[in-house]
Amino acid sequence: MAGAPSVLVVTDNDAIREELEFGLSGEAEVHTAREARDAWVWLQDRVPAGVIVDLQTGSAGGFALTRDMHATTRLGSVPVVILLDRYQDEWLARQAGAAAVFVKPIVAEEVFAALRAAAPTPG
């Protein structure tokens, strides 16, 4: 999908990953990682238009990945949407630097709309 924005989806939940891949098809080039550690390795060579990260991602977790991204100059402006299991974690997600948060279950189109709205404007 030439010219489409690149989006990284980080989740070990197959159903969420499939919903996001299907929901974003035609709008974005979707890359996936099962764990935050794998996502960090992928991010060392790439700067996606946005990242969607499930709070429960195994090693390190979504909060740590988001904080680490925002602590770097190269990745600091990449918008991150964090998927939560409960509303009570929204404050922590915002402190980590999430541009938007969604409590599961999610609607892929709504998540991608939030990611687009958070993307920096060119120029």
Residue 75 covered by a domain: yes
CATH code, 104: 3.40.50.2300
Beta strands 100-103; 80-84: pairing state? parallel
Residue range 21-59, pLDDT digits in tens: 998 888 889 999 999 999 999 999 999 999 999 987 665
- What is the number of domains present in the chain? 1
Segment 73-108, tens digit of pLDDT: 999 999 999 999 999 999 999 999 999 999 999 999
Question: Is this prediction's pTM over 0.85?
Answer: yes
Confidence of residue 122 (pLDDT cuts 50, 70, 90): low
Whether residue 82 lies inside any domain: the answer is yes
Residue 1 lies in a domain: no
* CA dihedral (123, 69, 14, 94) positive or negative: negative
Range of the domain at 25: 6-118
In a domain, 123, yes or no: no
Tens of pLDDT, residues 97-106: 999 999 999 9
Three-state DSSP state, 81: strand
